[in-house]
Structure 1
Amino acid sequence: MSIVVFDSGLGGVTVLHKALQVLPYEQYIYFADDGHVPYGTKTKEEVRSCILASMEATITDETRALVVACNTATSIAIGDLRKRYGFPVIGMEPAVKPAVELSRSTGRRVLVLATALTLREAKYHDLVNRLGDSGRIDSLPMPGLVTLAEELVFTGPRVQAYLDETLGGYDWTKYGTIVLGCTHFQFFRTALAAFLPPHVELIDGSAGTVRRLQELIGSGEAVADSPGSIEFRHSGSDAGYPDKMRHALDWYRRDRSGQTHD
């Protein structure tokens, strides 16, 4: 029985990394819809069609759970997927609630970074409105980070130039928290931490998503006597894309452990 982790491209690797930490003995299928990445610049109808087609080709009777490791895909298709499949379907949601709770204690603002499509969706606006603090929440699309991540460019001059261009004009004394509302953005935690003043915290939804997965399928102890595995699949024509997924996972694993990169 396999857990399918789905994303438009490499971003969901960051969620897979967290799942491997918490549930290391499971069998994972990571599916990247790289043939249609990026989702954030497409219409809602185009994205929904891509997601449903990708899952139709991936889901089998051996699927134990589906993790939609993409905020944009969650906002558009999570309802359709839950109606279609009888096993647990777990989505991503920008971690606005914990960010707002932090902001209430500090008095500073929250900046949500996500794709343009996520920020346009009613699901995001409903989330913000439910919290009752919409006046202290700002939003910013950063599609360039998706492009850089898909090119495996996580640090260096191009990343620095893009951060300067998009974030350089903010008065950071007014902000206390940044929400990484796209899984691709998590690759840039180190770069963002170096760019921002120390008081600005970075928050994402990966831990909450994996915690929910664990609640729904159990701790994984029943399969602890067998090794876990990862199978990489994708929709595009680039035969080298599975190697990119493996490289991205290895890079992120080392980055989060504080190891240096070659």
Structure 2
Amino acid sequence: MKKNNPIGLFDSGIGGTSIWKEINKLLPLENTIYLADSKNAPYGLKSKEEIIALSIKNTEYLLNKNCKIIVVACNTATTNAIKELRASYDVPFIGIEPAIKPAANNSQTHTIGILATKGTLNSELFHKTSASFGNIKIIEQIGHGLVQLIENGDINTPEMFDLLKSYLNPMIEKNIDYLVLGCSHYPYLIPQIKKIIPSKIKIIDSGEAVAKQTKKILAENNLLNSFNDNVEHFFQTNSDPKVLKSILDNQDNVIQEDF
């Protein structure tokens, strides 16, 4: 595997670009290919078997593009499929799961909230992680409809604000002091969320931690790209590219392609 081969990332849509941005900030010399499987979004409502099949399809697409490492930039795909992916392919995989640990370890009220998809909250991996913090009360909330609104570009709309209020207010009433965002789409909602929750509640997402882990694994495998004066980033979507382009500040290298 060559050091200048790209990092591959995939998600059930545009949300994983929040992870891509953190990776690009930490590793500016790395080439990347981002796959937005928006046609099949959201993964959170699909069965485990469907999620595994879609994750395999995305992985094989990225491997055909010679990606040296694959970032599963989707909580639902990680919690349901990463075990199968690691067993099937010899490329390194980086997963993303809700950052319960820092929230649980730092909570003063011993109560934290997690906003995530149904697929993540119902997964075996999530239950295993959350069960290890027996002294912490975890208030779970499925973010019904949030991914669809984000995929449609309806982030700063009254509908989104009302939906978030209905999910967050019960958590506030139960005295959470940390809110864990358990979907890579949700960091795009932070400005809206901050209008609803008190400032004393800290918001945690996984982006920075995933970027650091990606760097660590690349270094361990001697795959860090230390010299590159022609960095390339490609973003591919199987749906309307308009929202993906806008969230990436209208980058020219957004390609619509069926996969």
TM-score (ref. length: structure 1): 0.87
Question: Gapped runs of 5+ residues in structure 2?
Answer: 251-259
Partner of 2:55: 51
Amino acid at match of 1:72: T
2:100 paired with 1:96: yes
Aligned pairs (5 A) from 1:16-95: 16-60=20-64, 62-95=66-99
Report the equivalent of 2:128: 126
**CA deviations over 1:44-81 (Å, ceiling 9, x no partner):** 11111111122223313721100000010001111121
Structure number with higher helix proportion: 1
2:235 aligned partner, one-letter code: F
What is the identity, as a one-letter code, of the residue corresponding to 1:120? Answer: N
8 Å CA contact 1:10–1:32 kept in 2: the answer is yes
- Unpaired runs of at least 5, structure 1: 252-262
1:1-262 alignment runs, 5 A limit: 1-60=5-64, 62-103=66-107, 106-133=108-135, 135-172=136-173, 174-218=175-219, 220=224, 222-223=226-227, 225-234=228-237, 236=238, 238=239, 240-241=240-241, 243-250=242-249
Task: Identify if the C-alpha distance between structure 1 residues 126 and 173 changes in structure 2 by more than 3 Å, giving closer, same or farther.
Answer: closer
2:52 aligned counterpart, secondary structure = helix
Evaluate the alpha carbon distance shift between residue 76 and residue 169 of structure 1 in structure 2; reply closer, same or farther with a 3 A threshold.
Answer: closer
Partner Cα distance (2:132, 2:73) in 1: 23
- How far residue 25 of structure 1 moved from its aligned partner, in angstroms, is 1.4
RMSD, matched Cα: 1.8
Query: Is the Cα contact below 8 Å between 1:26 and 1:227 reproduced in 2?
Result: no
Identity of aligned residues (%): 30
Q: Deviations over 1:162-216 (max 9, x none)?
A: 1222223444471100000001111101110111011111001111111110001
Letter in 1 for 2:210: T
Residues 87/171 of structure 1: CA separation in 2 closer, same or farther (3 Å cut): closer
Moved more, 165-174 or 196-205: 165-174
Letter in 2 for 1:249: L
Partner secondary structure for residue 128 of structure 2: helix
Compared with structure 1, are the counterparts of its residues 86 and 60 closer, same or farther at alpha carbon in structure 2 (3 Å cutoff)? Answer: same
